[in-house]
Amino acid sequence: MSDDTQQPIVVKRIKKGGGGAHGGAWKIAYADFVTAMMAFFLLMWLLGSTAQGDLEGISDYFQNPLKVAMQGGEGTGDSSSILQGGGEDLTRSVGQVKRGDVASSRAINLDAAGGKRKTDAELAAEQLAERRERSRLIDLKGRLEAIIEANASLRQFKNQILMDITTEGLRIQLVDEQNRPMFTSSSAELRPYTRDLLREIGRALNDVDNRISLSGHTDSSQYAGGERGFSNWELSSNRANASRRELVAGGLEAGKMVRVVGLADTIPLNRDDPFDPINRRISIIVLNKTTEEALRGASSTTGVDVRGGDESVDIGDRIQGGLTSGSGAGAMGAQPLGRPAPLR
């Protein structure tokens, strides 16, 4: 009887749809995209809100962690405090410093204490004067190139004339070629074409107010007697002085010559081949005002007067450059900044 009254149990199974062609996978991809964009903008916000000192400290750490550990690096102490290097005591003039910067900080403080700080107007005026002087030197370089190009007898030697602008000024170098030397072998006697070149250069250099520095160079070929007798020091000095006389003969005012020095083979133009003929050269530098003032400062510390005559010789030039002639103003020989291109 009970079996007749029991209600049947009906189980209804509903088959869900597949969501069309895409299903639900796009939601996961979209969520990943939104998460990545959020992380990107969060990174941009952090970079924008981080001080420059913190960024430099992070950069130093990843470039060389041991350097930061041993010497210290740029970090929050340099950027997030009123005091240089951090610190909380506003009555102190300095804060924390990195171990590697103690010496340089002392030097800077001594310089600041000994001299007057320049105003922005003075710095701007100096920068303007430097730009104008550089422009004049570039114009002089172009004028010399035009003079040589216009002279048929000098044009064939233009590959032996190297001109470039260096930190000291306009550098003009007359170099030897394999079969076309500027001087008689082992002598300071100028070849005729070298004499003509120097006189043309001297005439052009007299049109500018800048002072002139001149140095003679040789290759590494040595004399039989070595350094005890007549050597490359005397040869380079004699050739430099012979070149000075030709510049003056061409029209250069003698008082503009501030230094004449022989450097032997100590500063080769081709360092890979010390016997290369190009190392035998005469280097003429039209000094900019900064270098000229440095020369004057060097001469004042040694008690040497900077003049254009032949009576003033600096002991520093004897140490670095051997026998010197002309006015000595410190041993600051023109360091070659690579090999400049010849005139084309």
CATH code at position 292:
3.30.1330.60
Question: Does some domain include residue 101?
Answer: no
Structure tokens at 51: 């001080």
- Cα angle vertex 278, ends 226, 336, to 5°? 95
Question: Does some domain include residue 198?
Answer: yes
Question: Does some domain include residue 15?
Answer: no
Question: Does some domain include residue 64?
Answer: no
pLDDT per residue of the chain (344 residues) written in tens, 0 to 9: 555 677 778 777 776 655 555 567 889 999 999 999 999 999 899 888 888 777 777 777 677 655 555 555 555 444 444 444 455 554 454 555 555 444 444 444 444 445 567 788 888 888 888 888 888 888 888 888 888 888 887 888 888 889 888 888 999 999 998 888 999 988 999 999 999 989 988 998 888 888 999 999 999 988 876 667 788 999 999 999 999 999 999 999 999 999 999 999 999 999 999 999 999 999 999 998 888 888 887 766 554 444 444 433 333 343 333 333 333 333 333 333 345 555 54
- Cα angle vertex 269, ends 266, 271, to 5°? 75
Question: Does some domain include residue 288?
Answer: yes
29: burial class by Cβ within 10 Å (0-12, 13-18, 19+)? exposed
Question: Does some domain include residue 127?
Answer: yes
Domain coverage including residue 247 = 123-325
Residue 299: CA count within 13 A, CB half-sphere: 18
Token pair 């003075």 is found at 122
Question: Does some domain include residue 257?
Answer: yes
Question: Does some domain include residue 188?
Answer: yes
Token pair 């084309």 is found at 344
Q: How many domains does the chain have?
A: 1
80: burial class by Cβ within 10 Å (0-12, 13-18, 19+)? exposed
Structure tokens at 317: 């030039």
